[in-house]
Structure 1
Amino acid sequence: MNLVPIFFSAEHLLITATSLAVSLLASLHVLLHKRDTRAAIGWIGLIWLSPFVGTLVYVLLGINRIERKARALRRDRPAVNRMDAGEEDLSLLLETLGPERHHLSTLARLGERATGRRLMGGNRVEPLDGGDAAYRAMAQAIDEAKHSVTLLTYIFRFDAAGSPLADALARARHRGVSIRILIDSVGSVHEGKPIVEHLRGLGLPVALFIPTLRPDWIRYANLRNHRKVLVVDGRLGFTGGMNILDDFLDPGRDARGCGKNCRDLHFRIRGPIVKALQQAFADDWAFTTGELLDGPPWYADDLPIEGKTIARIVVDGPDLEADPLAAVLFGALVVARQRVTILTPYFIPDPPLSAALVSAALRGVEVDILLPRKNNHRLVQWAGFPLLEPLLEAGCRVWLTPPPFDHSKLMLVDDAFSFIGSANWDPRSLVLNFELNVECYDPTLACSLSRIAGARKAMAEPLTLDEVRGRSIVLKIRDNLARLFSPYL
């Protein structure tokens, strides 16, 4: 008779020992890589309560492969040296801000430490409100180019917006201007007619950022380059949130009725900060193609003083250890004393940013958040809705802008700080995508942008706390289910 109970069999002991070892290794990985305490406790609980299954789920869903993949892709690729960090000229910054806004100098220090880049004075930043103004200015700049044109964008469509820019680029090439065009590989097949083959047919050098075999109907792809940069002759730059497609054109501009009249903001930039924009493009181009763009014709020897805006670029992406974009957003909310205005099409702030918004409102800061009433990505809108209630309870004001869709991205603080660029207030921009924003310290620019935001707000309707609380249970369940997927939207 077998005197050894079945649960003491060699097979069972082997399975138990293996389970303990696997669970222990997985738990150690959680402890070393999960900064959020609640997430770490949840994963460790799942790992030990469901041996093997819990570990398998953690391996599939809990390990951040996005950062690891991005860093692996960047490894051993050419890189362009970014601008050396150095002491900012505090006296110039304080003079520009004025005595009543000296507190914003602490935000400037934070930005330098988060990005490793110094502020640069002497810039002129001009807002271009709408596609008609932006595309016209970009085409004119390309037509006046003498040495080089570099263009980086997420979406470049072959339509009434993209075709004139493609023609301008072709004319520049025929004049002997050096051209480089970088388009995100997913954005390049965005709904509508792709333009890549047309550009190549015109003899223009085009590269795709991280080509993927992912079907073009999958919108929520990771590791996408969402930056928008155009630099002409190393002296004139454009950046902001606007892709190149006719959605942002006035449909009444010609007999064809092209465009949807969607709103967006782009910016024309002159001054020393243009060199930093070119360096950002050159880094992405070197990563993608292996070609280094250095010296003439890509960089101008001397960039003159063009204006009074003190600026710094903030590049972010999953290949960086730090989170400079989130750091600047959070810091701006913390130092704000009077007012904060936020325009964004996609609003799913993480808990620290939500807490900072609540804290600002409770301190008496006027916090205005402008969102589209009808979003072009319904899941994103649903996921963000549950996050609005605590903000409204704290005193934040939420405004819903009417159609057509507003794709503008802008943050204003205390009538002196403007944060412009490609990033939205959602996990995709702050964690999954490669983004580029520009810090701007200039009361005159902030005043100009405040008028634009005020015009948007004048057309919008306030969202009240009663409206949010009074939504049906079906809508609340739908929105909170969507919120569970917010890290991937």
Structure 2
Amino acid sequence: MFEQALALVERINWYAASITALAFVTGLVAVLHALTYKRDPRSALGWIAVSLLYPFIGPILYLLFGVNRIRTSALQEFGRAVSRETGVYPHAARSPSFPAWEAYRPLIQLGDAMTGQPLLAGNHVSILEGGTEVYTAMLYEIEQAKSEILLSTYIFKYDRIGRQFVQCLAAAKQRGVAVHVLIDGVGDLYSIRSAARALMKADIAVVRFLRLSLFPPKIHMNLRNHRKILVVDSEVAFAGGLNISDAHGSVTQESGELIRDHHFKFEGSIVSELKKLFISDWNMATKKPLPDLPRQTEIRGQSVCRLLPDGPNENLDTLLSVLIGAISIARETIDLVTPYFLPPRELITALAAAALRGVRVRLFIPEKNNFPFVGWATHNMLWEVLQPGVEVYAVPPPFLHSKLYLIDGCYALVGSANLDARSLRLNFELLVEIYDEEVGKSLAEEIDSHLEEAKSVTLEQVDSRPFPVRVRDAFFWLFTPYL
């Protein structure tokens, strides 16, 4: 009996030692990976702490949420047919609609170096506000399509608006138009009824970008395709902040679902670049190259544009670098409109420096965030921009979802990217540079319209928050890299 008990104890000790050793090894592997591959020291330190303090659970959480599995080499392999061009149209991009070329030369050079994307003249940019105007324009172009429709969206709900898109796309398919739809794998889950399935029933080519699955294990919770692109016949393109959902459409304000947002219609040579980006994403998601049709180069307007794609597969933080470059070149005004404001330290420093040197910096954020914890985290860090003189305005409902960044009223950045870590480091995003004083003037009017109802946020208000509220806000602020 004693020998059996001793043998049992030895076996238990062996199992315990094995489990301890395994926990140590898995934790060590997670720590070494975070030290080697994480670019943000706060993020690295956080994952190291989680991996060491919570054996097995910590490394598993890091594997699921902390590891960037997308590699630049993979994108290059899948996207060879749509490789970037460098040094295109270096002088032809000049336009009388933007006389301040010399002042903006450093920013133009930064865009050249960071993206390799051409700066293209001869574009026409239409500003569209609100789901009704945006969806009407998009559905009209789909109905007029003759050869090809490329649609990429983060969320595609199968609601009233979603069904209109499905019906329009299905009708185009029946007319012989080639239709390709790319929906983000997580964004697809926002809808109880799947729009992707409805599109497949219509024999439309549909792909879910990085679709989640357990077998085989594919859990890319943080690496989402947040881009919104529609290209029709290589002639016209749309990009901006709107998903496909009733929340953006003709919903009464009393329901609490109406969302303020902006989208942009592009005509001209920039359409080809948006098409190339869609094809690149499609190729990466399917590993099956999508052929490119001849490019559109017809002069349609006077706007000079450049596409700025960015994603977790890139070695350089393209959008963050261009944003900081644009802020540093501002001389009079900087207007930022974003639903989620949790910027990295570098961007906060750039905004503070601009305000301190006399530039009027205005930040417009929602008064009530659709993700309350994001709003709480934002409140915790607003003092950092208020103290040096940045003007902060809280826009009351309906929810402000626009992403508009305007420098000196003449240089604009528009697209899908928010000013938070998720957009600037975790998601696949796009912004479009627009060098055009007329477009800038129109955007300035759109932004100024918020002042009629926006509430000014002061440093005194932020500092006077009750202690429990400050603790709550600070707690959620700790998770800034993942909100």
TM-score by length of 1: 0.85
Task: Find the counterpart in structure 1 of residue 94 from structure 2.
Answer: 93
Equivalent position to 1:422, from 394, 416, 422: 416
- Take 1:61 and 1:424, find their aligned partners in 2: how far apart are those partners? 25
- Take 2:48 and 2:205, find their aligned partners in 1: how far apart are those partners? 52
Residues 347-426 of structure 1 mapped to structure 2, 5 A cutoff: 347-426=341-420
Shift in alpha-carbon separation, 1:380–1:28, aligned structure 2, 3 A: closer
Q: Which runs of 5+ in 2 are unaligned?
A: 1-21
- Take 1:155 and 1:45, find their aligned partners in 2: how far apart are those partners? 33
Task: Find the counterpart in structure 2 of residue 245 from structure 1.
Answer: 245
- Take 2:386 and 2:131, find their aligned partners in 1: how far apart are those partners? 33
- 1:468 has 2:469 as partner: no
AA in 1 matched with 2:137: A
Task: Find the counterpart in structure 2 of residue 176 from structure 1.
Answer: 176
Q: Give the CA deviation at 1:371.
A: 0.4
AA in 1 matched with 2:287: G
Task: Find the counterpart in structure 2 of residue 6 from structure 1.
Answer: none
- Take 1:275 and 1:241, find their aligned partners in 2: how far apart are those partners? 20
- Take 2:332 and 2:194, find their aligned partners in 1: how far apart are those partners? 45
Most deviating of 224-233 and 285-294: 285-294
- 1:293 has 2:287 as partner: no
Most deviating of 258-267 and 142-151: 258-267
- Take 1:73 and 1:379, find their aligned partners in 2: how far apart are those partners? 35
Q: Give the CA deviation at 1:171.
A: 1.2
- Take 2:114 and 2:373, find their aligned partners in 1: how far apart are those partners? 31
AA in 2 matched with 1:157: K
Q: Give the CA deviation at 1:106.
A: 1.4
Q: Give the CA deviation at 1:103.
A: 1.9
8 Å Cα contact 1:336-1:360 kept in structure 2: yes
Q: Give the CA deviation at 1:19.
A: 13
Most deviating of 26-35 and 144-153: 26-35
Task: Find the counterpart in structure 1 of residue 264 from structure 2.
Answer: 267
Task: Find the counterpart in structure 2 of residue 4 from structure 1.
Answer: none
Residues 6-17 of structure 1 mapped to structure 2, 5 A cutoff: none
Most deviating of 61-70 and 464-473: 61-70
Task: Find the counterpart in structure 2 of residue 12 from structure 1.
Answer: none
- Take 1:213 and 1:21, find their aligned partners in 2: how far apart are those partners? 27
Q: Give the CA deviation at 1:81.
A: 2.3
8 Å Cα contact 1:220-1:488 kept in structure 2: no
Q: Give the CA deviation at 1:158.
A: 1.2
SS at match of 2:151: strand
Identity %: 36
Shift in alpha-carbon separation, 1:353–1:220, aligned structure 2, 3 A: farther
- Take 1:463 and 1:446, find their aligned partners in 2: how far apart are those partners? 25
Q: Give the CA deviation at 1:66.
A: 3.4
Most deviating of 436-445 and 75-84: 75-84
8 Å Cα contact 2:158-2:191 kept in structure 1: no
- 1:432 has 2:426 as partner: yes
AA in 2 matched with 1:348: L
Task: Find the counterpart in structure 1 of residue 68 from structure 2.
Answer: 67
- 1:477 has 2:477 as partner: no
Shift in alpha-carbon separation, 1:73–1:301, aligned structure 2, 3 A: closer
8 Å Cα contact 1:370-1:457 kept in structure 2: no
Shift in alpha-carbon separation, 1:185–1:59, aligned structure 2, 3 A: closer
Shift in alpha-carbon separation, 1:356–1:220, aligned structure 2, 3 A: farther
8 Å Cα contact 1:147-1:176 kept in structure 2: yes
Task: Find the counterpart in structure 2 of residue 187 from structure 1.
Answer: 187
Q: Give the CA deviation at 1:238.
A: 0.4
Q: Give the CA deviation at 1:384.
A: 1.3
AA in 2 matched with 1:194: S
- 1:486 has 2:480 as partner: yes
Q: Give the CA deviation at 1:198.
A: 1.3
8 Å Cα contact 1:348-1:384 kept in structure 2: yes
AA in 1 matched with 2:262: L
RMSD: 3.3
- Take 2:121 and 2:376, find their aligned partners in 1: how far apart are those partners? 41
Task: Find the counterpart in structure 2 of residue 13 from structure 1.
Answer: none
SS at match of 1:158: coil
AA in 2 matched with 1:314: L
- Take 1:279 and 1:314, find their aligned partners in 2: how far apart are those partners? 12
- Take 2:55 and 2:87, find their aligned partners in 1: how far apart are those partners? 46
- Take 2:187 and 2:259, find their aligned partners in 1: how far apart are those partners? 18
Task: Find the counterpart in structure 2 of residue 15 from structure 1.
Answer: none
- Take 2:207 and 2:338, find their aligned partners in 1: how far apart are those partners? 29
SS at match of 2:118: coil
Q: Give the CA deviation at 1:109.
A: 1.1
Query: Structure 1, residues 87-115: CA drift from partner, whole Å, max 9, x if none?
Result: 5535753744224x632221111111111
Shift in alpha-carbon separation, 1:83–1:96, aligned structure 2, 3 A: farther
Shift in alpha-carbon separation, 1:23–1:338, aligned structure 2, 3 A: same
Most deviating of 269-278 and 76-85: 76-85
8 Å Cα contact 1:122-1:308 kept in structure 2: yes
Query: Structure 1, residues 285-321: CA drift from partner, whole Å, max 9, x if none?
Result: 11112232224xxx34442100111111111111111
- Take 1:378 and 1:282, find their aligned partners in 2: how far apart are those partners? 35
- Take 2:473 and 2:339, find their aligned partners in 1: how far apart are those partners? 17
SS at match of 2:342: coil
Query: Structure 1, residues 59-86: CA drift from partner, whole Å, max 9, x if none?
Result: 6677995334455864753543233100
Task: Find the counterpart in structure 1 of residue 148 from structure 2.
Answer: 148
Q: Which runs of 5+ in 1 are unaligned?
A: 1-17
- Take 1:35 and 1:433, find their aligned partners in 2: how far apart are those partners? 15
8 Å Cα contact 1:160-1:258 kept in structure 2: no
Give the number of equivalent residue pairs.
Answer: 458
SS at match of 1:172: helix
